[in-house]
């Protein structure tokens, strides 16, 4: 399939990221923007721009019918959804295909399986990949949940079957926790995903979150691009990612890579995706979920492999295959990504939108900053608080940490409050420097900060 124009159905730094790869490939880019994004940077860099609707996302970036109609009107051959918004919406992907517009991403079947956590668990288990012990059916009533939890044993993690991102997720240490949380978790799942179905998994103490980047052509050809450690999280939202994962047993590393490829082949996965695992203290890994899209943290993989994942997505969508074999993928050095958000860590990470009066980007060897920022830009209140992704590369992990420390100090965004000071605190923590941290790191740091305030 020949592609000469792609409509980028997103905003912010990921829209810019896609537009830049399209330009390098000689493909014309069409950007969409909402009324709140009239001064956005992706609008300034695209070959052509189109107002898609009012400021609220539901009336603009989530308006699937309007986006597909626009693609047809302007003669776009394909749509790239980026991440978030409609990126994992199977109905949107089907609408694109029915309109004769290629969808640059996984198939609707891939998305539906990935979105149905229970079905994905069963499929992965059938493929011989270990899953976290948990309920084998959806839980729609408290009585069902009490029975399932009693059979598995506490502590447990309550989750939404139809989605992720921490919505509907609760830690249960005893039956009373379940009784208090079940109704609220189901309501949260219904509001976020239109489906109140919950399920439970054994809660793994002090786990690490390890994910594997995959590319697959849907014809049985799949490769991995090594793993990322995404264990620096707050409320199930990632703050820092790095590749490769530190302090990982070589045999476990190889087994996780092989399992990710096996899953991609088993479901005939197409395009870019990420297979996420939990690793316990005994080096046993368990499948957690499949993200059927390009990930926010994909740049760290690009930095250590030298492969442009957006271009690979386009190659697969155009029927040209992945573009390289497994033995052509090599790992060089170490990369760390910090998500810079417009939030005030000293005020409980409340959003901090507003006018960017002063902006200085970090630079120098080994530094990459994927961002929507420029001086004079007004951060809108309608969308998430991500301002950019700061990536540091070095020949060793300690080199990458040193470069990130310098880059974070060099970054200047005023007068907005950002997460930069908190991220500096994290990368200077002994557990992070030693590479021995797990998902409890951020809560431990925040707890220590609270204790210090109480002592004042």
Residues labelled catalytic: 293
* Phi then psi dihedrals of residue 100, to 5 deg: 80, 20
Judge residue 215's burial from the number of C-beta atoms within 10 Å of its C-beta, 0-12 exposed, 13-18 middle, 19 or more buried.
Answer: buried
Complete DSSP assignment for 397-451: HHHHHHHHHHHHHH-EEESS--SHHHHHHHHTSHHHHHT---TTHHHHHHHHHHH
C-alpha span between 448 and 444 (Å, rounded): 6
Q: What is the DSSP letter of 205?
A: S
- Report the alpha-carbon distance of residue 184 to residue 196 in Å, rounded: 10
- Which residue from 336, 339, 304 is spatially nearest to 229, judged by alpha carbons? 336
**Residue 194 and residue 116 in contact, taking contact as beta carbons nearer than 8 Å:** no
Report d(CA 89, CA 72) in Å as an integer.
19
H helical segments located in 75-174: 90-98, 108-115, 117-126, 142-152
Bridge partners of 78? 6, 102
Q: Say how far apart CA 64 and CA 61 lie, in whole Å.
A: 8
Query: Cα(25)–Cα(74) distance, rounded to whole angstroms?
Result: 20
How far apart are the C-alpha atoms of 96 and 336, rounded to whole Å? 35
55, 27 Cβ separation under 8 angstroms: no
3-state secondary structure of 254: helix
279-304: b or e for each residue (b if 16 or more CB lie within 10 Å)? bbeeeebbbbbbbbbbbbbbbbbbbb
Cα separation, 128 vs 401, in Å, equals 37
């Amino acid at each position: 399939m020949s592609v000469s124009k792609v409509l980028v159905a997103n905003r912010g730094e990921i829209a810019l990221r896609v537009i830049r790869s399209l330009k390098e490939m000689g493909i014309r880019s069409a950007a969409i923007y909402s009324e709140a994004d009239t001064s956005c940077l992706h609008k300034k860099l695209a070959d052509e721009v189109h107002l898609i609707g009012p400021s609220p996302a539901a009336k603009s970036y989530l308006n699937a019918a309007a986006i597909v109609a626009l693609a047809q009107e302007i003669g776009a051959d394909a749509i790239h959804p980026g991440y978030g918004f409609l990126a994992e919406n199977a109905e949107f992907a089907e609408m694109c295909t029915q309109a004769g517009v290629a969808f640059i991403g996984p198939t609707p079947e891939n998305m539906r399986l990935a979105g149905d956590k229970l079905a994905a668990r069963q499929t992965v288990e059938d493929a011989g990949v270990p899953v976290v012990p948990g309920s084998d059916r959806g839980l729609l009533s408290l009585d069902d949940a009490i029975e399932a939890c009693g059979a598995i044993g506490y502590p447990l993690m309550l989750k939404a079957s139809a989605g992720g991102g921490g919505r509907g997720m609760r830690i249960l240490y005893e039956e009373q926790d379940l009784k208090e949380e079940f109704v609220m978790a189901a309501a949260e799942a219904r509001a976020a995903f239109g489906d109140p179905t919950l399920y439970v998994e054994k809660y793994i103490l002090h786990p690490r979150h390890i994910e594997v980047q995959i590319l697959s052509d849907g014809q049985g050809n799949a490769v991995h691009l090594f793993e990322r450690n995404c264990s620096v999280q707050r409320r199930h939202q990632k703050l820092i990612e790095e590749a490769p994962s530190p302090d990982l047993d070589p045999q476990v590393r190889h087994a996780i890579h092989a399992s990710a490829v096996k899953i991609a082949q088993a479901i005939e996965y197409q395009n870019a995706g990420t297979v996420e695992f939990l690793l316990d203290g005994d080096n046993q890994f368990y499948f957690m979920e499949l993200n059927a899209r390009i990930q926010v943290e994909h740049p760290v993989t690009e930095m250590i492999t030298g492969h442009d994942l957006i271009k690979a997505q386009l190659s697969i969508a155009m029927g040209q295959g992945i573009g390289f074999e497994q033995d052509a993928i090599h790992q060089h050095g170490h990369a760390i990504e910090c998500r810079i958000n417009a939030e005030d860590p000293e005020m409980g990470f409340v959003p901090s939108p507003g006018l960017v009066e002063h902006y200085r980007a970090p630079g120098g060897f080994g530094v990459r900053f994927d961002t929507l920022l420029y001086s004079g830009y007004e951060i809108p209140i309608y969308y998430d608080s991500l301002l950019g992704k700061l990536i540091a590369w070095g020949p060793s992990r300690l080199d990458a940490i040193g470069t990130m420390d310098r880059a974070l100090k060099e970054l200047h965004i005023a007068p907005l409050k950002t997460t930069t000071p908190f991220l500096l605190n994290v990368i200077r923590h002994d557990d992070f420097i030693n590479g021995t941290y797990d998902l409890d790191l951020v809560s431990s740091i925040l707890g220590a900060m609270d204790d210090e305030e109480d002592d004042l």
